[in-house]
Structure 1
Amino acid sequence: IGVTGSKGKTTTATLTAHLLKAWRADTILAGNMRISALAQLPLIGPDTPVILELSSFVLEGLGAAGLSPAIAAITNIYPDHLDRYGTMEAYIAAKAEIGRHQNNHNTIVLTDTDDALVRLAPAMPGLRVWTGVHAPRVPTEGSVWWDTDVLYAMLQGGTVAIAQRTDVQLAGTHNLANIATAVALALRAGMPHTAIAPALRAFTGVEHRQEVVTTHDGHTFVNDTAATMPDAAVAALTSLPQPIIWIAGGADKKLSFECLAATAATHAQQIVLLQGTATALLHDALVRHGAGDRIIGTFDSFEAGIRAAHALPLRPATIALSPGCASFGMFRNEFHRGEEFRRIVSQIIAEAG
């Protein structure tokens, strides 16, 4: 099972593995979340369920070899990595490799509210399974969708209730879409639909993705360092509890900040910017959208930025690291950035006694 997408691929892949492990304890998760697939080989047998999170970079290599997973999903397509690909067309083509080399016995899971995926679908020879936060326009066998607070699936030609919204611990509409995709993948892998809801209740999320680190002195610290693109930061700002003190900025991936700045203007009460090659562009976009007076400064020290956020009198509040940018320059990668956020927050709390 392979999972890709601009946003949500780690959460979707991890949740798929979590669901399948409740049914098949030998399930393996590996790929782009820093778990080597090669290192897992001794644990993999001929029928072991294996879930791989696949980046566009890895998919380029699979495409060159004419390979696609037997069961695959693309969570969504948003502008990303344009510093590498140059155009959206080239980026989408790399993502499409996950299903381009399937046959008609394979399965591709797509979201029918994503126009890019709808356009890609005819090039995918596998069985198309549509998912989403609303009923698909054309439900197919295995489709999974939310209707109000109930998760449904089309199984053997009929509609079956799979789970309730109260079974879900994740916040945000984007995570409801991730859940629908993960459930569709688990069902296609053979998991009984009656086993989904109990397993879903036990899933609390993935580190570095809207991860609540702690609450202290009226501040809830949220580590969303994996939001390395503007649209991911939009998802955080629109789903986290208000008011929000937002920590953002970093390295440039040649992406537009207009939508993110407009969202911040209505969802972020105070803004702390981190120095990076994209930060001046983000700053100017925030000013254009009327949020310039909420920027308390641009910091070349990560720790100084976090301490400045904590020193603000706004309480209760969510202090959210959701950068909307890559981490290169100040950190080794986005995970290093998230680990440093946790360390600094722990230090601040320890100093407070």
Structure 2
Amino acid sequence: MLISQLDGQRVALWGWGREGRAAYQAIRSRQPELALTLFCSADEAADARGLNDARLAVETAATAERLSAFDWVIKSPGISPYRAEALAAAEQGTRFIGGTALWFGEHADARAVCVTGTKGKSTTTSLLAHLLRAGGHRTALAGNIGLPLLEVLDPPQPPEFWAIELSSYQTGDVAAGGARPEVAIALNIYPEHLDWHGSQARYVEDKLRLLTAGKPKIAVLNANDAVLAGLDLPDSEIRWFGREDGWHLRGDVLWRGEREVLDTSALPLPGRHNRSNLCAVLTAIEALGVDAAPLAAHAASFRPLPHRLQQLGERDGLVYVNDSISTTPHASLAALDCFAGRRIAILLGGHDRGIDWQVFADAMRRQAPVAIVTMGENGPRIHELLASIAAQSDFRLSAAKDLAEAMAQAQAALREGGGEGGVVLLSPGAPSYGPYRDYVARGRHFAELAGFDPDSISTIAGLGIA
């Protein structure tokens, strides 16, 4: 799908966040006279009208009838195509795509490594760019990680490789753009974003579209994920990580087949799952035709990403860990595992997407922290599920009305529970929608409540082309 193909078409934009603004700028750079209609919130409308673009109409009601009036709707990733109004418009012939599809249409031949997975994809994508750059390869780091692809539509000096993070909202855009990535990494599949996708089955189907519809030349898959291990991809060469004939871990030691490469225990990659994702990165680098083994040691200079098991520091004997990006119960369990053996108070809860917390609850029978504080929209549901387990165990369970109260309860539990020190862990296992715009805002508030400068902990290193 080329932007030039929009010429003469009835085109609308849906959403005016960063992705929506990037789509507008990209279309205007190629089609300055194309009439556009923007559907956005009332709060965003004033900003859009401030552009004084006579060819841009701004509306605040994206009804099925209005959406049906267009040939193409370029929607922001957070807007589900399964909404009733979108489905009704699609039945009338309206086609919905994302800005990522427009980028791939313009860069179908890019040497792209696309990364997806329920957890770990941001760290994996960033680590991939870091190691490729360490090897002297000019590499772009973009996508869902914080830099929309359309913001780097026409780089003055194109990179050799593109490291691109894709969420489940974007995986179908690769094929929609008419591209076939050189390499695609799939890390793991757990239930997530059920409110957007509508069901767990559809989430899995959409997540896998990078592989099934995108048909990458080489698919790098996690041999230890049950969903991925059962895939048949006749159009792609599959290379496995986490298997003894490829890149894998034995304890904390990194191996390439039968060759011992590196002790990973001191690497700035918190949690075994992140060190396992190093195996995915090295497998992908090999898939690009680059010798990966000499690059593995450069993981020691990797700068961990903010809001992802980020150790902010210590205050009054307590260590504060910001894992605000955690939006699934599995991610919260992984966070607890990272600090196993330490006294932990974990803050759980946020926007309720209907995800089942039973796996987390069952794990608390065996590996409960000192304290669990529930909060947010789904806090009461999590609390109810854990109440009977807490009654038969020795962990403290409490409920808070907001993050500030949850922080205070966690601090009190660690200080009153005996012993020294402890870890206050924000790993909510749920999105931030409601009190916060996004997980970044939630993480920044957590840092501020803990006494740290939120600006100093929020920068993602390496975005863009270097």
Q: TM-score range by the shorter chain?
A: 0.7 to 0.9
The residue number in structure 2 matching 1:12 is 124
SS in 2 for 1:2: strand
Q: Does 1:110 align with 2:215?
A: no
User: For residue 173 of structure 1, what is the amino acid of its counterpart?
Assistant: R
**357, 362, 378: which one aligns with 1:257:** 357
Cα offsets for 1:259-286 (capped at 9, x unmatched)? 112334423111222131x112111111
Q: Does 1:150 align with 2:260?
A: no
SS in 2 for 1:161: strand
- Note the residue ranges of structure 1 that are not aligned, 5 or more in a row: 349-353
CA shift in 2, pair 1:85/1:218, >3 Å = same
Deviation at 1:190, TM superposition (A): 3.3
2 CA distance for matches of 1:340 and 1:48?
A: 38
2 CA distance for matches of 1:271 and 1:162?
A: 39
The residue number in structure 2 matching 1:69 is 181
Q: Does 1:203 align with 2:302?
A: yes
Say whether the 8 Å CA contact 1:238–1:267 is kept in structure 2: no
The residue number in structure 2 matching 1:311 is 412
Deviation at 1:124, TM superposition (A): 5.0
Q: Does 1:191 align with 2:290?
A: yes
Q: Does 1:86 align with 2:198?
A: yes
SS in 2 for 1:43: coil
1 CA distance for matches of 2:302 and 2:441?
A: 24
**404, 419, 442: which one aligns with 1:337:** 442
Deviation at 1:304, TM superposition (A): 2.4
**214, 229, 242: which one aligns with 2:328:** 229
Say whether the 8 Å CA contact 1:102–1:124 is kept in structure 2: no
CA shift in 2, pair 1:167/1:43, >3 Å = farther
Between the two proteins, the alignment pairs up a number of residues equal to 334
**370, 379, 401: which one aligns with 1:269:** 370
SS in 1 for 2:302: coil
Deviation at 1:66, TM superposition (A): 4.6
Say whether the 8 Å CA contact 1:245–1:319 is kept in structure 2: yes
Say whether the 8 Å CA contact 1:275–1:298 is kept in structure 2: no
The residue number in structure 2 matching 1:161 is 260
Q: TM-score, normalised by structure 2?
A: 0.67
Q: Does 1:324 align with 2:429?
A: yes
SS in 2 for 1:56: coil
Deviation at 1:42, TM superposition (A): 4.0
2 CA distance for matches of 1:56 and 1:249?
A: 21
Q: Does 1:240 align with 2:339?
A: yes
SS in 1 for 2:202: helix
Deviation at 1:254, TM superposition (A): 1.4
Q: Does 1:38 align with 2:157?
A: no
2 CA distance for matches of 1:144 and 1:220?
A: 33
1 CA distance for matches of 2:412 and 2:213?
A: 54
Deviation at 1:235, TM superposition (A): 0.4
2 CA distance for matches of 1:282 and 1:339?
A: 24
Cα offsets for 1:72-120 (capped at 9, x unmatched)? 110001111122223322111111121224568x110001111110222
**22, 28, 33: which one aligns with 2:134:** 22
Cα offsets for 1:13-63 (capped at 9, x unmatched)? 111111111013521111112112222334375652110100111113334
Output aligned runs, 1:272-283, within 5 Å: 272-276=373-377, 278-283=378-383
2 CA distance for matches of 1:41 and 1:66?
A: 16
Say whether the 8 Å CA contact 2:345–2:423 is kept in structure 1: yes
The residue number in structure 2 matching 1:129 is 239
CA shift in 2, pair 1:204/1:240, >3 Å = farther
SS in 2 for 1:57: coil
Identity of aligned residues (%): 28
The residue number in structure 2 matching 1:286 is 386
More helix, by proportion: 1
The residue number in structure 1 matching 2:16 is none
User: For residue 341 of structure 1, what is the amino acid of its counterpart?
Assistant: F
SS in 2 for 1:30: strand
Q: Which of the pair has more CA radius of gyration? A: 2
Q: Compare relative contact order (CA 8 Å, sep 6+) and give the higher one, 1 or 2.
A: 1
Deviation at 1:147, TM superposition (A): 2.6
- Note the residue ranges of structure 2 that are not aligned, 5 or more in a row: 1-112, 454-466
CA shift in 2, pair 1:296/1:283, >3 Å = closer
2 CA distance for matches of 1:177 and 1:124?
A: 26
